[in-house]
Amino acid sequence: MGIFINENNLEFHLQNDKVSYILKVDSFTRELQSVYFGNRIHHRDSYEDLSEKQNDQVPPLL
């Protein structure tokens, strides 16, 4: 099991041999956001692209 922390982007990647869970601290609200949960993915320096995909899937507020 691994825990990776990117202090520059405030991202946290928790993983085991099957699952990855990526969290991020929102820079504006300072709230913890779930970015990805699913099949294990390799650790990398940034998960900004996953954050952008998640934001695209959230319906707009009325």
The string of pLDDT tens digits covering residues 20-31 is 999 999 888 899
45 or 58, which is more confident: 45
Strands (E), the chain: 2-6, 11-15, 19-25, 32-39
What pLDDT, on a 0 to 100 scale, did the predictor assign at position 27?
83
What pLDDT, on a 0 to 100 scale, did the predictor assign at position 17?
93
pLDDT tier at 61, thresholds 50, 70, 90: very low
Average of per-residue pLDDT across 21-47: 88
- pTM score of the predicted model: 0.73
57 or 20, which is more confident: 20
